[in-house]
Amino acid sequence: MTWQGAHLLGPCLASLHRQTLAHDVLVVDNASTDGTVALLEREHPEVRVLRLPRNTGFAGGVQAGLDATDAEFVALLNNDAMADEGWLAALVAEAHEHPEAAAVTSRMLLAGRTPPVLNNTGVVLLATGYGADRGLGEGDTAYRQPGEVFGFSGGAALLRSAAVRDVGGFPVPFFLYYEDTDTSWRLRAAGWTIRYAPTAVVHHEHSASTDQASALFAFHNERNRLLMLARCAPSRDALRCWARFALTTASLARTRALHPRRTVPHHFRIGLRLRVAASALRLLPWALRTRVPGAFWPPADRA
């Protein structure tokens, strides 16, 4: 999936061209206006392009890609990531070895770092209800063994298509962020596992597509966490996290009144948090309608 990423596609597609396992490439273009489609037609005529009429975000783009294929497996790779030549083969081998796995996540390294630094080796769920990159900032010697993880990173993972469809697909209303954690949670609630393949290596230009210090990131990160909890967590845990968000907002408002000139990050700004609350409440009926049967909180991640 790409949006305004013409400058990123060359290295990404070149890395896919070097894969040792035969595959088809589908580029989902989220209504880019930067010449993406023309570039693909001119320089990469071998790839299939699905151009969407409007920007549907990462969640909508991935879902459109899933709807456009009947392949048993679908591999996701961010346009700002480059895969080692054995990446796809390693993911597929892990999936075949573990037929109970609905997804296999990659070993993501921060591009250009010497010595290598980890970006993601799977997603963990914290007691606060936030998802986090497992291994972020650690050295390349960590997480060298394959195993089960809570969730996959949508930036570089292999999905068992039928399993994802059976749990409702990607949450398109999320638009951006937490769609992979939400989908992972729903897959696990349906009895599937998520695996990590340490030999499936990609190099990721972290935040090349979106700025994680931006208001856009803060809004979707906070809102989608609340919606994910409403869809996937036990009612008690979802209510606890929603209440904590409200109490934190009230506390920040009091602090802001006492110190009106203090500069704070976007996710601590009252206006943004009120917009988050309004949007989350507007989408809450959808979240409750699509609530996962057998909601659970992973015991291993609670601590």
Q: What is the mean pLDDT of residues 51-72?
A: 97
Fold topology of 6-204: Spore Coat Polysaccharide Biosynthesis Protein SpsA; Chain A (3.90.550)
pLDDT of residue 255: 85
Q: Tokens representing 54? A: 């409007």
DSSP the chain: -BSS-HHHHHHHHHHHHT-SS----EEEE-S--SSHHHHHHHH-TTSEEEE-SS--HHHHHHHHHHHT---SEEEEE-TTEEE-TTHHHHHHHHHHH-TTEEEEEEEEEETT-SS-BEEESSEEE-TTS-EEETTTT-BTTSS-S-EEESB--TTEEEEEHHHHHHTT-S-GGG-SSSHHHHHHHHHHHTT-EEEEEEEEEEEE-TTSSS-TTSHHHHHHHHHHHHHHHHHHS-HHHHHHHHHHHHHHHHHHHHHHHH-TT----GGG-HHHHHHHHHHHHHHHHHHHHTPPTT----HHHH-
Question: CA-CA distance, 64 to 31, in Å (whole number)?
Answer: 13
Over residues 158-180, the mean pLDDT reads 98
Nearest to 81 by CA among 198, 205, 207, 209: 205
Q: What are phi and psi of 284, to 5 degrees?
A: -60, -40
Which residue would you say has higher pLDDT here, 263 or 233? Answer: 233
- What is the distance between the alpha carbons of residues 122 and 138, in angstroms, rounded to a whole number? 13
Give the tens place of pLDDT for each residue, 231-260. Answer: 999 999 999 999 999 999 999 999 878 777
Q: Any idea of the CA torsion for 106, 140, 81, 70, to the nearest 10 degrees?
A: -10
Answer yes or no: is pLDDT of 303 > 50.
Answer: no
236 vs 154: CA distance, rounded Å: 28
Q: Residue 73 above 60 pLDDT?
A: yes
Report pLDDT for 302: 41
Structure tokens at 266: 């976007």
Mean pLDDT, the chain, whole residue set: 94
pTM of the model: 0.95
Contact 143, 107 (CB under 8 A): yes
* Confidence (pLDDT) at 265: 86
> Residue 152: what pLDDT?
98
Where exactly are the structural domains of the chain? 6-204, 215-302
Enter the tokens of residue 186. Answer: 């729903």
Lowest-confidence range among 15-19, 66-70, 266-270? 266-270
The model's pLDDT over 86-131, given as tens digits with 9 standing for 90+, comes to: 999 999 999 999 999 999 999 999 999 999 999 999 999 998 999 9
User: What would the mean pLDDT of 36-53 be, rounded to a whole number?
Assistant: 96
User: Taking 50 as the threshold, does the pLDDT of residue 143 lie above it?
Assistant: yes
Mean per-residue pLDDT for 5-24?
97
Where is average pLDDT lowest: 27-36, 246-255, 260-269, 277-286?
260-269
- What pLDDT was estimated at residue 211? 63
Mean pLDDT over 154-182 rounds to: 98
Taking residue 96's Cβ as centre, other Cβ atoms within 10 Å add up to 11
Q: Is the confidence at residue 60, as pLDDT, over 60?
A: yes
In percent, how much of the chain has pLDDT > 90? Answer: 88
Cis upstream peptide for 115 (omega within 30°): yes
In this structure, what token pair is assigned to residue 42? 């001119």
207's torsion region: left (phi>0), alpha (psi -120 to 50) or beta? left
The answer to whether the CB of 123 falls within 8 A of the CB of 181 is yes
pLDDT, one tens digit per residue, over 182-233 is 999 999 999 999 999 999 999 999 765 566 779 999 999 999 999 999 999 9
The candidate with the shortest Cα–Cα distance to 193, out of 89, 97, 62, is 97
Check: CB of residue 169 under 8 Å from CB of residue 63.
Answer: yes
Strands 193-204 and 101-110: parallel
